[in-house]
Structure 1
C-alpha cells in the first residue's frame, strides 16, 4: 500500500551502498552525454531550417526504442542480465555517436539519417534505464527503493541540466563532428566501471520464464489490476502535453528569443537545474500533502508554464519558467516511480516499470509529433495553449482520481488460505495445475462473497491464474483456478 504520509528515509542512505553510488554515477554521466547528443542534433536541424515537425521528431526518435524494447528488456532484467545489458547498451551508444560524427563530417545529409542515430541512442538509453530499474531495488533493498528512485530521478534530471549546457557550449567552441566523436569515446570508457561491478545483482532472484509467457503474464497482471491501469492512464495524460515543451523549445529559442547555440543549451539546462533543485525543495511539500494533491500541484504548475512560455519574449522570464517547469517535472515523475516501487509485487515489478516507461515514452513520441504538426499547421502559440489545457485537465483529474490508494495492488494470501493450497506432487514440471479452495460460509456469508467475488477473481489472475470459477452452494463456496504449468504455480505460491 502506498502511504500518503509515510516517513521518508534520508536521501543519503542509498549512497552508503558503494554499488549504488558507482552505478548511479555511470547513469548520470551516460545521461549527460545523451543530452549533449540530443541538443546537438536538435540545434543542427533547427539552424539548418528544418520544419517544426522534423525538429520535434528528435524527441520521437529518442522515444521509439522504448516502445520496441521496454518489455523485453524488463524480462531480461528479471533474469539477472542487468549488468550485461548495461555494458552492451554503452557500446551501442558509442557506435551511434561515431555514426553521427561521420554524418556530420559529410554534411548536407537527409535529416532522417541523423534521426536514425537518435533512434540508436534511444535504444541504448532505454536498455540502460530499464536494466538499472530492475537492479536498483535489489542493490539498496526494498525499504530504500523509493528514496533511491528519487536520487536516480535527480541524477537523470541533473544530466538534463548539465548536458544541454555542455552541448551548447561545445557546439560554439568546436565542430559537431568532433563533439559526436568525443561522446563516442566517453560512452566506450564508461564500460570500464561496469566491468568492475560484474557481480552486482548476482544475488537477485532469477526468473526462468520464457519471453512470450512472461510478456503474457505482464498483460494479464495489468488487465486485472485497476490500480496499475490507473497509473498508466495518469502517465499518459501527463506525458502527451508535457512533450510539447521538450519538442518545441528549440523553435522558441531560435525564432522567438533569437538565442545562440550556447544560450539555447543554457536555457534547456535550466529545466534540468529546476529538476535538481526541485528534488530537494519539494520534499517538505511532499510530506505535508497527499500524493494525489502533490501530483495535481505539479501538473498545474507545468500547465501554467506551457500557457506562458509561447507568448513571453523576455529571456529572463522564460529562464525562470524553465526552472519552475523542471521542478514540476521531477516532482510528478518521481511520484510515479515511488508509487510503483512501493506498491508492485517483486515478481512483476521490473516488467511493469518497463511498461510504464514504454507508455510514457510512447506518449512523448506521439505528443511531440502532434505538437510539431499543430505548430506548422496553426501556430506555436495555439499549440502551447492546447497543451496547457490538456495538462490542466490532467492535474485536476489526478486530484480526484489519482494513484492513491493502492490497497489491492499486491494481494497477499492469508495463512489459512495458503495452507489450503499446498504444492501437490506432480509428474512433470510442464503439467497444468488446478487449485481448488473450499470456503465454509457463515450465516449471511453469501452477500459478503458476492461483494468480493470480482476482486478475488482479479487477484488470482493477477498472480498468474488462467481460468477462474466459483461454485456457490448453500453453506460453502468451491473456488477453482488453473495454471499453465508447475512453474507458474510456484511463482504464485511465492508471491506475497
Structure 2
C-alpha cells in the first residue's frame, strides 16, 4: 500500500530544500491547480462576506459565513477521512471537486438572478464546504505519495504558502470584481477554478491499492481511526495545539470584514488589501520558516509564532491607521503559516499509511471546529461587548495559554519510522470471518532484574496494540511466579486481528516488540494463545470453522 518516492538528499540548504517538492511533476501540477482553486475560493469568501453585508447582515451574520464554511467540514470530515483510507483516493477527490464546483456555480447563477437571501447564501456556502470535507483529509493523505518523507515538511510549507499566496491574490481580485461586476463574478470564477484540479486528478495514473483483506466497512474504519487517535499521545499533542490556536485565531478571520466596514471605513477593495497583507506575510513566512526550523525546534517555532499572532491581533483592534493595521496583518500572516505548517507536517509524519486519512480527519476536525466555534463565540462577543473586545480577548488567551501548552503538551521532536511492516504472510484472498470478540493471551517470562524496563516498554506496546485494533489491553504479573507476566488484549473479530498483522504493523511497532523480546529470560519465547468468545455463534458457523482454524494458524508466531 505504501509508495515511497525517491529520497531527498540530506544536507540541502533550507532555501533550496523548500522548493524540492516542486521538482516532482505530479506535485507541481497539483500545486499549481490548487493555487488557482484556492485563489477562486478566497475570491468567493470575499464575495460571500460582502454580499452578506449588502443583504443587511450584521457582524454576527458576517461571522456566520465562516461558520457555514467550517461547520460542514467539522461534521463530515471524520467519515470522509475513513472513506479516504478505504476507497480509491483519486476518485474520492474527483467526486469532492465536482460537488464543490456545482455549489459555486449554483451560487453564481442565483446571485446573478438576484434570488439570494441570507439563509440561502449560508446554505450554498455550506454545500461547497461539504465537498471540501471529503477533499481535505485525502489531499493531505496523498502527500507521501507525491513526495519523499524527507520532503514532507517542505511540502506542508509549500501547501500552506499556496493557500496564503491565494489569500494575497484572491481578496484583491475579489474586491476589484465586486466593485466592477458584483459578487456573482467572484462566485463564477470560483466555480471555473476547480476545473484545473479535476483535470490533474483525472489524468493521474495512481496505482491501485493493495488490500489483501479487502476494504473495511466505513463503520469499522471510523472506529479504527478513533482508536488510533486515542492511543497516539504524540498525535494528540498536535491536535491540542491546533484546537487552542485556531479557536482564538479565528476571531481575526471572522471579524476582519466588520473591522474594515466599521472603524477603518474601507470598501470592498480596501478589505481585499487587508487580506492581501495577511497573504503577503504568509508568503514571507514561507521563505523564513525553513531557516527558523533549522535553528529552533517545533515547540519554539509554534510558541513564538502564536505570541506574534496575538500581538498582531491586539494592534489591529486598537489602531485605526490603515498602514499600521496592514503591517500587523503581515506579521499575523507570517505567524499563521508558521504555526499551521509546523503542525501539519508533524501530523503527517506521525501517521502510518493505513490510518493517515482517517487520523488527519481528526486534525481537520479540531482545526475547522476551532474555526467554526471560534467564529461564533467571537461574533457573540462583538455583539454583546464590542468589536475591540472580540480581538483583545482571544489575543490575551493565546498569550496566557502558550507557556502552559509548551510545558504540559509539547510537540514531539523525535522522528518515528512509520513504514508498513508485515508480521505474517498474506492470507488467501477469499478468507473472511467476523466471529468475535477475540482474546489474545501472551505469556512473557522476564528476569526480575529487567522487570522495570520491561514494564516501561510494555506500556508503549499496549498503546501500539490499541492503535492497530485492540479494544482492551492489560498486563498482569503472576503472584506465585514473579518471572511470569501475562499480557491480554481483545479485538472485535478474528479478521480485525489479522489486519493488525498484515496491514497495520509499522517499523516503530516492530522495534517495540524487539525491545521487549530482548528483556525476556534467556531460552524463553512469549507463548501466544487466541481465544474466541464461546457465546457468539454466527450463521453458518459449522461451515466457517475450518476457515477460523486457518485464521488462527496464520496468527501463530513463527
Normalising by structure 1, report the TM-score.
Answer: 0.90
Alignment match of 1:291 (pick from 275, 285, 298) = 298
Is residue 19 from structure 1 mapped to residue 26 from structure 2 by the alignment?
yes
Q: Shift in Å at residue 486 of structure 1? A: 4.1
Larger radius of gyration: 2
Q: How do residues 456-467 of structure 1 correspond to structure 2 at under 5 angstroms?
A: 456-467=461-472
Paired position in structure 2 for 1:103: 110
- Counterpart for residue 79 of structure 1: 86
2:504 equivalent to 1:479: no
Displacement after TM superposition at 1:216 (Å): 0.7
Contact 1:19 1:200 in 2 (8 A): no
Q: For the aligned residues, what is the CA RMSD?
A: 2.8
Q: Could you tell me which residue of structure 2 aligns to residue 200 of structure 1?
A: 206
Going from structure 1 to structure 2, the CA distance change for 1:410 and 1:234 (only over 3 Å counts) comes to farther
> 1:319 is matched with which residue?
326
2:433 is matched with which residue?
Answer: 429
Unpaired runs of 5+ residues, structure 2, are 1-9, 507-558
Residue by residue over 1:453-486, the C-alpha shift from the partner in whole angstroms, topping out at 9 and shown as x without a partner, is 5443222111211232333222121222232234
| Residues 489 and 422 of structure 1, relative CA distance in 2, 3 Å threshold | farther
CA contact (8 A) 2:101 2:194 kept: yes
CA contact (8 A) 2:40 2:191 kept: no
**Equivalent residues in 2 for 1:11-90, closer than 5 Å:** 11-90=18-97
Match of 1:306 among 307, 313, 332: 313
Does residue 495 of the first structure (1) align with residue 495 of the second (2)? no
SS state at 2:469 partner: coil
In the aligned structure 2, how far is the partner of 1:484 from the partner of 1:281? 48
- 8 Å contact 1:35–1:160 — kept in the other structure? yes
| Change in CA separation of 1:285 and 1:357 when aligned onto 2, cut-off 3 Å | same
The reply on whether 1:347 has 2:351 as its aligned counterpart is no
- Please report how far the alpha carbon of residue 249 of structure 1 lies from its aligned counterpart in structure 2 after TM superposition: 0.4
Contact preservation (8 Å) 1:80, 1:202: no
1:398-439 Cα shifts (integer Å, max 9, x gaps): 4323443366977899x9xx98x9999998533444433332
Q: Deviations over 1:321-345 (max 9, x none)?
A: 1111000000000111111122222
Find the partner of 2:338 among 319, 322, 331. 331
1:441 aligns with 2:441: no
- TM normalised by structure 2 equals 0.81
Q: 1:251 to 1:111 in 2, by over 3 A?
A: same
Contact in 2 for aligned 1:77/1:135 (Cα 8 Å): no
Deviation sequence 1:107-153 (CA, Å, 0-9, x none): 37431111111112222223232221121111223332222122111
Q: What is the correspondence of 1:356-367 to structure 2 with a 5 Å cutoff?
A: 356-367=363-374
Structure 1 stretch displaced more, 248-257 or 23-32: 23-32
Q: d(CA) in 2 for partners of 1:139 and 1:469?
A: 40
| Aligned mates of 1:448, 1:186 — CA distance in 2 | 57
Q: Residue 375 in 1 paired to residue 379 in 2?
A: no
- Aligned position for 1:249: 256
Q: Name the stretch that deviates more: 112-121 or 47-56.
A: 47-56
Once residues 392 and 374 of structure 1 are traced to their aligned partners in structure 2, the CA distance between those partners, rounded to angstroms, is 19
Aligned-partner SS, 1:466: strand
CA distance in 2, matches of 1:491, 1:98: 43
User: Measured at CA, do residues 73 and 254 of structure 1 come closer, stay the same or move farther in structure 2, by a change above 3 Å?
Assistant: same
CA distance in 1 between counterparts of 2:149 and 2:11 reads 15
2: CA distance, partners of 1:325 / 1:179: 25
Cα displacement string for residues 177-222 of structure 1 (whole angstroms, at most 9, x for unaligned residues): 233233323334643333222x235467797211111111111122
SS in 2 for 1:477: strand
**Is 1:469 aligned with 2:479?**
no
- With a CA cutoff of 8 Å and minimum separation of 6, indicate the structure with the bigger relative contact order: 1
**Conservation of the 8 A alpha-carbon contact between 2:468 and 2:505:** yes
Conserved 8 A contact 2:84-2:137? yes
Aligned-pair distance for 1:228? 2.3
Partner SS state of residue 448, structure 2: coil
Q: 1:220 maps to what in 2?
A: 227
- For the 8 Å contact 1:221–1:462, the answer to whether it is kept is yes
Structure 1 stretches lacking a partner, 5+ long = none
Output the CA distance in 1 between the equivalents of 2:496 and 2:408. Answer: 33
Pair 1:362–1:428, CA change in 2 (3 A):
closer
Separation of aligned partners in 2, 1:250 and 1:6 = 44
Q: How far off its partner does 1:172 sit?
A: 1.3
SS in 1 for 2:433: coil
Per the alignment, in what secondary structure is the counterpart of residue 200 of structure 2? helix
Residues 368-377 or 89-98, more deviating? 89-98
**Number of aligned pairs?**
487
Distance 1:395 1:22 in 2: 38
2:265 to 258, 262, 269: 258
3-state DSSP of counterpart to 2:222: helix
Segment drifting more, 342-351 vs 324-333: 342-351
Moved more, 164-173 or 8-17: 8-17
Q: How far did residue 314 of structure 1 move? A: 0.6
Deviation for aligned residue 1:358 = 1.1
- Alignment correspondent of 2:241: 234
- Does the 8 Å contact 1:10/1:147 carry over to 2? yes
Aligned-partner Cα distance in 2 for 1:427–1:148: 39
